[in-house]
């Protein structure tokens, strides 16, 4: 224990003396958590729409007003020619074209039916599908309002009606930041753990100080623990600031479940993540090599963790990779505990899997680390 105490003292002094490392550990994760959830939002707004109105009637103007006032669309162009409106799409000034034909109001009143034409710029598939869905819903709502106005209300209706009442659970206001912030917290802690642990050890190789440690009677596990414990504590500190400072203070996210359960899983997760950083350092001789390896794995971890897209919607081969990703399980646990209030019974399999990751990565790293005497 005395040997480990001296090693830990050395590591903390080395970390806090590095002025370039401190902002990367403490400042960058907080700034990223403040900015990324506001940008990583799948709720598409400000969709540019061009309207071709051949009718110029009261009904057509009401429909255009309803589309514009929805908050999702911006009127980019209003013309009488579809070719002119289509040029707006070709010039990337418009995302959709809505064409209202002649006799729109007349046909609705007399024949009780009318067709509209919608052209969608499908280069951006997400924006196209969501923009088209938004527009269809707005038109359907306008159509329902017109039917109520034009249909004579009967005192006693013999037609059966179905009333639908919906209730949003766990995220009542459908706030997308509630979904993103717990996942981004995990990605930031993973980056700090993998990058900093790997770079710290590889820097010792470059400066030659690791050779001095190797010829000492310090045991291998002393050296490993001396490298892992400081960054484990830093990871817990960053998670605490993110959870109670940024998530709660800025976004108003209050954990519904047991916070102690989160910290218990965090403890195991950090051991696994630091084991990955330690493993990378055993295969790297320079900081550039370590950065390249860490960047490769972090890109795979983030993109295939369910942070942005659901794991269930991935192809089979991608699901297998996602299941081998520690971030996948912690993101799921974070969302389950913070938003749903899940208990240990719901998460026991996640604990077992993460424990397996921690054992595998750290054992691999320890076996691969060669200490010469």
Buried b or exposed e, range 163-178, using 16+ CB within 10 angstroms: eeeeeeeeeeeeeebb
Q: In the chain, helix, strand, coil percent, each to 5?
A: 65, 5, 25
- What integer pLDDT is reported at residue 158 of this predicted model? 55
Q: What is the CA radius of gyration of the chain?
A: 29
Half-sphere exposure of 160 (CA within 13 A, CB side): 1
| Rounded Cα–Cα distance for residues 183 and 331 (Å) | 5
Half-sphere exposure of 365 (CA within 13 A, CB side): 30
Q: Strand, helix or coil at 50?
A: strand
| Rounded Cα–Cα distance for residues 300 and 55 (Å) | 53
* pTM score, whole prediction: 0.79
Which residues, listed in sequence order, are joined to residue 118 by a DSSP beta bridge? 98
Using the structure block, give the residue that is written with the tokens 């550039």. 288
- What integer pLDDT is reported at residue 373 of this predicted model? 36
Q: Strand, helix or coil at 314?
A: coil
Q: Which two tokens stand for residue 232?
A: 């484990």
Which residues, listed in sequence order, are joined to residue 50 by a DSSP beta bridge? 77, 97
Mean pLDDT per 10-residue section of the chain, whose length is 373 residues: 80 77 78 84 80 91 91 88 88 89 86 85 79 89 79 52 70 83 93 87 78 71 83 92 92 92 96 94 89 92 89 90 95 94 94 96 85 44
- What integer pLDDT is reported at residue 160 of this predicted model? 55
Using the structure block, give the residue that is written with the tokens 């007349």. 106
All domains of the chain, ordered by start, with CATH?
A: 2-40+175-368 (no CATH), 47-150 (3.40.1710.10)
- What integer pLDDT is reported at residue 372 of this predicted model? 44
Which residues, listed in sequence order, are joined to residue 49 by a DSSP beta bridge? 75, 96
| Rounded Cα–Cα distance for residues 96 and 231 (Å) | 50
- What integer pLDDT is reported at residue 79 of this predicted model? 86
- What integer pLDDT is reported at residue 154 of this predicted model? 47
Q: Which two tokens stand for residue 309?
A: 């897209």
| Rounded Cα–Cα distance for residues 325 and 357 (Å) | 9
Pairing mode, if any, of strands 47-53 and 96-100? parallel
Q: What's the maximum distance between 2 C-alpha atoms anywhere in the chain?
A: 96
């Amino acid at each position: 224990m005395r040997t480990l105490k001296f090693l830990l003292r050395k590591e903390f002094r080395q970390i806090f003396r590095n002025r370039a490392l401190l902002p990367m550990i403490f400042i960058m994760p907080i700034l990223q958590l403040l900015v990324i959830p506001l940008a990583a939002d799948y709720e598409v707004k400000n969709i540019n729409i061009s309207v071709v109105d051949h009718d110029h009637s009261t009904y057509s103007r009401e429909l255009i007003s309803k589309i514009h006032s929805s908050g999702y669309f911006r009127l980019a162009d209003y013309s009488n020619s579809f070719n002119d409106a289509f040029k707006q799409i070709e010039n990337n000034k418009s995302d959709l074209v809505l064409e209202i034909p002649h006799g729109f109001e007349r046909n609705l009143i007399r024949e009780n039916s009318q067709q509209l034409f919608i052209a969608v710029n499908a280069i951006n598939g997400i924006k196209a599908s969501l923009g088209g869905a938004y527009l269809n819903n707005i038109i359907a709502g306008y159509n329902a309002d017109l039917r109520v106005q034009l249909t004579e209300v009967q005192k006693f209706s013999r037609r059966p009606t179905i009333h639908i009442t919906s209730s949003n659970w766990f995220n009542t206001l459908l706030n997308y930041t509630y979904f993103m912030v717990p996942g981004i917290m995990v990605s930031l802690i993973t980056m700090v753990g993998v990058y900093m642990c790997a770079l710290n050890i590889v820097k010792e190789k470059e400066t030659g100080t690791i050779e001095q440690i190797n010829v000492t009677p310090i045991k291998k596990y002393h050296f490993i623990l001396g490298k892992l414990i400081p960054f484990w504590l830093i990871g817990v500190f960053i998670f605490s600031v993110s959870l109670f400072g940024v998530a709660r203070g800025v976004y108003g996210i209050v954990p519904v479940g047991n916070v102690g359960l989160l910290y218990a899983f965090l403890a195991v997760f950090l051991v696994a993540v630091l084991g990955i950083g330690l493993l990378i350092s055993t295969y790297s001789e320079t900081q550039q090599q370590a950065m390249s390896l860490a960047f490769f794995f972090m890109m795979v971890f983030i993109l295939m963790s369910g942070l942005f897209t659901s794991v269930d919607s991935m192809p089979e081969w991608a699901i297998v990779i996602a299941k081998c990703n520690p971030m996948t399980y912690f993101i799921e646990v974070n969302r389950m505990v913070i938003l749903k209030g899940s208990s240990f019974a719901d998460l026991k399999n996640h604990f077992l899997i993460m424990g397996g990751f921690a054992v595998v990565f750290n054992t691999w790293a320890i076996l691969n680390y060669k200490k010469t005497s």
